[in-house]
Amino acid sequence: MKNMQYYQWDKYPIEFVLSENIDKQFDSHNHVGYYVISVDVLGTVAVYLENREVECHRGDVFIIPPYAVHSVRQRRDARLLSMCIGTAFIEERGLETAEGIFRELLKDAAAQGIFGKEQGDKLLVSVREVYCLRDNGREEMDAGIKILTDKISSHPEQELSIETLAADSDVSKYYLIRKFKSSIGMTPHQFCIQNRIRKSQGLLDEEKTVSRIAVEMGFYDQSHFDKAFRKIVGISPSEYIHSKKQIGQGT
């Protein structure tokens, strides 16, 4: 049986994802609003990032910056722990302040038995590397592509045809698709579906049915939504709802 657990901190936009007993290839995707630090807790995980594939073993750590296109192959005998940190959290706080917050968070998480001291220490050390990535900066995205990614990620449920997007940018749709994929690593349609699923994960926290969220997010029906959700998240919307827990709530 697949096992994915999501642990959300009630104080800041930080989340842990613990996945095990999964034999799955997570196809090329990116995380628009998060830095992700992953620790291989057990077994072997193959990561394709920045045009190269790395095989990670127990104790190895890899970091995925925002917009970095990557894929992950996790076999059934592997266990992977990921910490997702909202970009706004990183941008709004200095390293010293952030380290104090993470020490509190890791203490709360360890108290709940989410992971051990070894994994907590690796995550804390990796926070410094995240700040180095932030300070060094990445290659600036083309201004036109940045406008489109912001438009899509802000309202992914809206139907934005490639013809309309191309007309707004005063280019042909074929040129736009090539340029977008070159910059983002996926087509505008794939990027839109990814962001619909990411937004739906937040909506699943609310008192709404899965079928209603499917319609609100622009899917044909719940079956279409379930299929897209499984492909990107790895589990069904219903399984995701039951997998979520809070860290430090009530403490």
pLDDT digits (tens, 9 = 90+) for 159-177: 888 888 888 778 888 998 9
Whether residues 35 and 76 share a domain: the answer is: yes
Of 95, 116, 136, at which residue does a domain stop?
136
Whether residues 74 and 164 share a domain: the answer is: no
Whether residues 62 and 25 share a domain: the answer is: yes
pLDDT digits (tens, 9 = 90+) for 45-90: 999 987 889 999 999 999 999 988 899 999 889 999 999 999 999 9
16 belongs to a structural domain: yes
Whether residues 93 and 34 share a domain: the answer is: yes
Can you tell me the mean pLDDT for 4-28? 89
Whether residues 123 and 238 share a domain: the answer is: no
Going 179 to 185 to 189 to 191, the CA torsion angle's sign is negative
pTM assigned to the model: 0.88
251 belongs to a structural domain: no
Whether residues 58 and 152 share a domain: the answer is: no
Cβ atoms of 128 and 95 within 8 Å: the answer is: yes
Residue span of the structural domain in which 25 resides: 3-136
Whether residues 198 and 181 share a domain: the answer is: yes
- Is the pLDDT confidence value at 248 over 80? no
Residue labelled with tokens 């995550």: 123
Cβ atoms of 8 and 241 within 8 Å: the answer is: no
Can you tell me the mean pLDDT for 235-247? 89
Whether residues 237 and 122 share a domain: the answer is: no
CATH code: domain of residue 12: 2.60.120.10
Cβ atoms of 215 and 203 within 8 Å: the answer is: no
Of 136, 154, 171, at which residue does a domain stop?
136
pLDDT digits (tens, 9 = 90+) for 28-38: 888 988 999 99
250 belongs to a structural domain: no
With a CB cutoff of 8 Å and minimum separation 6, the contacts of 244 are: 5, 6, 7, 8, 205
DSSP 3-state assignment of 247? Answer: strand
Angle, vertex CA 110, rays to CA 116 and CA 107, nearest 5: 125
Whether residues 20 and 124 share a domain: the answer is: yes
DSSP 3-state assignment of 222? Answer: helix
Give the count of domains, the chain.
2
CA 104, CA 251: separation in Å to the nearest integer?
A: 12
213 vs 32, residue with greater confidence: 213
CATH code: domain of residue 237: 1.10.10.60
Residue 251: predicted pLDDT: 38
Cβ atoms of 133 and 66 within 8 Å: the answer is: no
